[in-house]
Amino acid sequence: MAKSNKVLTIDITNESVTIIEITASAKKQTQVHNAIIFETPEDAYEDGNIKNKEKLASAIRDHLDENGITNKNAIFVLSSTKVVNREVIIPAVKESKVKDVINSNASEYFPVNIDDYIISHSILESVVGDDKAKQLRVLAVAAPSYMVKGYYDTASLAGLSVESIDFVGNAMLQLIKTQTSANATTMVIQLGSDSSVLNIVKGETCL
């Protein structure tokens, strides 16, 4: 997240590009400053893969300029059938060590050539195993390297700085956590043109 906490969230699908300028706070309250949506340029994007970086970058830049948006800090939301995600249980370690644990076991989590993928993770919750030992439930995500690079290249062409690239599943979880009660079980349905995502939230934990 940028130091000012004011960023552009950019969600690209086969049909449209949605850009929302927000300020997020530690109190889980998000202030929306601007929101724009426009059609994805033809033949520029397909299933998470940016096929024409120059065309997409130009469209993003043009719409930002037309709406007087000068913010250059961007968070892209990546959604693709080629992105693989797994919920895994690992021993309770310091947060700084979780990445090492996930990376060292990535080949067991994902049936892909790990050398061609970028691995990321999000800690979901702390749990206690059957042996009473403390553990962590973690969402591990593997995205094709070429796909991730495409977002960085497009951002650069559009004059933007990438703060992060977030997997759509984790982005949805963070949104759900701000909109649901910590004590309630809630079903959240995300409807899309190509697919739908069903999340069942118990407290602040996505099942």
Q: Which of 26-35, 54-63, 181-190 has the lowest mean pLDDT?
A: 181-190
CATH topology for 84-143? Dna Ligase; domain 1 (3.30.1490)
What are 142-184's pLDDT values in tens digits?
A: 999 999 999 999 999 999 999 999 886 555 555 555 555 556 6
Q: How many CB atoms lie within 10 A of CB 166?
A: 20
- 116 vs 195, residue with greater confidence: 116
Using the predicted structure, report yes or no on whether residue 2 has a pLDDT greater than 70. no
- 85 vs 1, residue with greater confidence: 85
Q: Which of 35-39, 114-118, 168-172 has the lowest mean pLDDT?
A: 168-172
pLDDT category, 62, cuts 50, 70, 90?
very high
**CB of 118 within 8 A of CB of 80?**
no
Whole-number Å distance between alpha carbons of 195 and 176: 19
Whole-number Å distance between alpha carbons of 98 and 105: 11
What are 67-81's pLDDT values in tens digits?
A: 999 999 999 999 888
Nearest to 85 by CA among 64, 63, 102: 102
CB neighbours of 17 closer than 8 A, spacing ≥ 6?
10, 11, 37, 38, 39, 40, 56, 59, 60, 63
pLDDT category, 7, cuts 50, 70, 90?
very high
**Largest Cα–Cα distance of the chain, in whole Å?**
59
pTM for the complete prediction?
0.80
| Percent of the chain surpassing pLDDT 90 | 61
